[in-house]
């Protein structure tokens, strides 16, 4: 894992890889189905991890959300007459993916409420289930109240709320960002713990392998020493046997020489005795 990038800052290479995953048919199909955001962006995070890029699911969701917001702002600006055309680094990539959708093909003022409602679902899903649920309940409550009071424009009731919608949404956004930050920190800590665990496992395995190699080497050296001692013992036995045989041969020759000397001496003595006896007769 030494070559993995562990940071919530995104490089151009990482953003490009994320857009490739986000644009593939599987991800787009999941966005059109009632699939939880966690599953979609967990998949993005895991596919990035297979490429050696470490970013949490929350970081992937926030990055896609930011890219879509930047694209929407640029697209709305370009769709207004009289404005000079603007672009961003990832505008063309996102335009190829989102440009044909009604919510991105014109400004918000040029779309009817049905189109906005139908096209806002994928974008709202990027905000998290809590924000989506709260906004849906508020809109539903306003519509019901307008029907009961006979007010034709529900926006009048929304404006009469004691707490402005922008403040309520801002508070939810701050809470969501706080929760997302906490989740991102937890994801980073989990990744760090997993990386440390893998490193410790690898280090422990390497230590065990080194110890096993050392034990094998020591056993081999001990075996070689025993073999050498056995050969030395055999050589000593052979040398001792040869020395013993040589000593026996030397003793035999010495005994033979002594026997021959004694025999010769006795012969000479016998002859002298005979010679001494002859004149006396």
Residue 168 lies in a domain: no
User: Could you report the per-residue pLDDT of 55-105, keeping only the tens digit for each?
Assistant: 999 999 999 999 999 999 999 898 888 888 888 889 988 888 887 776 665
Q: Look at residues 82, 84, 126 and name the one whose alpha carbon lies nearest to residue 103.
A: 126
CA torsion sign for 69, 70, 73, 74 is negative
Query: Is 64 inside a domain boundary?
Result: yes
Helix axes 12-23, 91-98, angle to 10 degrees: 10
Please indicate, yes or no, whether residues 39 and 127 belong to a single structural domain of this protein: yes
Does the residue 117 lie in any domain?
yes
181 and 213 in a single domain? The answer is yes
Considering the domain architecture, whether residues 115 and 56 belong to the same structural domain is answered as yes
Q: Is residue 170 part of a domain?
A: no
- Burial class (CB within 10 angstroms; exposed 0-12, middle 13-18, buried 19+) of 247: exposed
What pTM was estimated for this model as a whole?
Answer: 0.39
Q: CB under 8 Å to 103, separation ≥6 — which residues?
A: 111, 115, 116, 119, 120, 123
Top-confidence residue, 171 or 142: 171
Q: Which residues have C-beta within 8 Å of that of residue 132, sequence separation ≥ 6?
A: 124, 125
Q: State residue 47's pLDDT score.
A: 95
The residue among 153, 184, 208 that closes a domain is: 153
Do residues 142 and 196 share a domain? no
CB-based contact 215:35 (threshold 8 Å): no
Which of 153, 186, 201 is where one domain is finished? 153
> Strand ranges (DSSP E) for the chain?
5-6, 53-54
Which region among 28-42, 174-188, 195-209 has the lowest average model confidence (pLDDT)?
A: 174-188
114 and 253 part of one domain:
no
> Looking at the 3D structure of the chain, how many domains does it have?
2
Q: What is the structure's pLDDT at 133?
A: 39
161, part of any domain:
no
Same domain, 211 and 266: yes
Shared-domain flag, residues 70 and 140? yes
20 and 65 inside one domain: yes
pLDDT in tens, 118-137: 444 444 445 444 344 334 43
Residues 34 and 130 both lie in one domain:
yes
Q: Which of 118, 153, 188 is the last residue of a domain?
A: 153
Same domain, 136 and 185: no
Domain that holds residue 249: 176-274
Co-location of 100 and 216 in the same domain: no
């Amino acid at each position: 894992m030494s070559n993995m990038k562990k940071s919530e800052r995104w490089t151009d290479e990482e953003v490009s890889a994320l857009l490739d995953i986000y644009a593939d048919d599987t991800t787009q199909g999941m966005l059109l189905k009632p699939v939880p955001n966690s599953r979609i962006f967990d998949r993005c995070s895991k596919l990035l991890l297979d490429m050696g890029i470490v970013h949490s699911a929350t970081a992937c969701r926030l990055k896609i959300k930011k890219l879509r917001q930047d694209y929407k702002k640029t697209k709305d600006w370009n769709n207004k007459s009289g404005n000079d055309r603007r672009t961003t680094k990832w505008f063309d990539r996102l335009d190829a993916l989102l440009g044909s959708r009604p919510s991105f093909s014109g400004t918000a003022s040029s779309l009817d409420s049905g189109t906005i409602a139908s096209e806002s679902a994928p974008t709202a899903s990027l905000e998290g289930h809590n924000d989506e649920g709260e906004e849906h309940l508020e809109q539903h409550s306003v519509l019901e109240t307008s029907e009961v009071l006979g007010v034709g424009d529900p926006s009048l009731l929304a404006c009469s709320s004691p707490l402005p919608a922008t403040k309520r949404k801002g508070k939810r956004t701050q809470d969501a960002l706080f929760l997302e930050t906490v989740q991102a920190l937890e994801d980073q800590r989990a990744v760090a713990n997993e990386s440390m665990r893998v490193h410790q496992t690898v280090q422990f395995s390497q230590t065990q392998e080194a110890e096993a190699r050392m034990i094998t080497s020591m056993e081999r050296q001990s075996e070689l020493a025993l073999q050498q001692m056995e050969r030395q013992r055999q050589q000593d036995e052979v040398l001792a046997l040869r020395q013993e045989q040589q000593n026996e041969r030397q003793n035999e020759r010495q005994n033979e020489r002594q026997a021959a000397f004694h025999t010769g001496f006795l012969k000479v003595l016998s002859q002298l005795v005979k010679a001494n006896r002859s004149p006396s007769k």
